[in-house]
Amino acid sequence: MTAAILDGKALSEQIRSEIARDVATFAAETGITPCLATVLVGDDPASQVYVRNKQRASEKAGIRSQSFQPDAATTTEELLDLVHRLNYDPAVHGILVQSPLPKQIDERRILEAVDPLKDVDAFHPENVGRIVQGRPRFMPCTPYGVQQMLIRNSIPIAGAHVVVLGRSDIVGKPMAILLMQRGPGGDATVTVCHSRTRDLAAVTRSADILIVAIGKPKFVTADMVKPGATVIDVGINRLETGLVGDVDFEAVRQVAGRITPVPGGVGPLTIAMLLLNTLTAAKLQQAK
């Protein structure tokens, strides 16, 4: 028996159609078109692809897109000036600074400089704190996409043992926080694993839901997965043979009950959640 494939592309199209409908309603009622500003420093090819995909998705949803591409030699102060201009531009509702940033830039200062009401990545300390307290302004895009994948595929979360492999600020930590919160989409028992976890395979085999985000191609093998478990692969790794995830897909699908592919799994949902956050930002700023 092979695992059922969780189709993130199809689900994201459904969610994006819902967002497009809500954007049209909001624009008709207020005369305001939500706007997302993307900032890409330098010319990293992978980042350029990600930004283009976000811009196309924005336009399809009726969200206006602005793109800024400072030179790779840009300093922290120069980038801060751009962020401040976008903060004070009433026509811009969401700001996304594409990572990774060049080494000479202080990334923490940049992230903290983004207006929390325009922080559609949910990286600002104020927004992170609100997530921890269970009263989020914006949901972190990738973790929220994973949560929607589980909810909309009727995969039980409450009472389940979820193992999150990876403790990054972008995925691992917020993922654990979302799934442990009280209420719909939460109430899970969550274990976070990392490079210092002892007997890692024994821990991952105990998971009803295994979420993998460590940036190591095909790291999770079949012997690390409980039969029938749901496996969510957040990893995207570029090899000479193409894109692969952090999970050995062909081997693990023979053991798991459900599994996400790479590409076509979590990635499209991340973009959908970014669009949702941009609409939310526009609504918050209009109300203010």
Distance CA 222, CA 247 (A): 9
Which phi and psi (to 5°) does residue 90 adopt?
Answer: -65, -15
Beta strands in the chain (DSSP E): 4-5, 35-39, 64-68, 94-97, 161-165, 189-193, 209-212, 230-233, 237-239, 242-244, 258-259
Three-class secondary structure of residue 58 per DSSP: helix
Of residues 22, 115, 121, 246, which has the active-site annotation? 121
Task: Give the helix/strand (H/E) hosting 71.
Answer: none
DSSP secondary structure of 220-286: B-GGGS-TT-EEEE---EEETTEEE-SB-HHHHTTT-SEE--SSSSHHHHHHHHHHHHHHHHHHHHH
> Which amino acid type is present at position 130?
R
Distance CA 122, CA 274 (A): 10
Q: Which two tokens stand for residue 122?
A: 């949910």
**89 labelled catalytic:** no
Q: CB within 8 A of 102, min separation 6: which ones? A: 41, 42, 72, 73, 74
Task: Give percent helix, percent strand, percent coil of the chain, each to the nearest 5.
Answer: 40, 15, 40
Which phi and psi (to 5°) does residue 195 adopt?
Answer: -65, -20
Instruction: Give residue 97's Cα distance to chain centre.
Output: 14
**54 labelled catalytic:** yes
Q: Which two tokens stand for residue 188?
A: 């899970």
**115 labelled catalytic:** no
Of residues 22, 98, 148, 218, which has the active-site annotation? 98
| DSSP letter (8 states) at residue 119 | B
Of residues 54, 118, 173, 218, which has the active-site annotation? 54
Residues forming the active site: 54, 98, 121
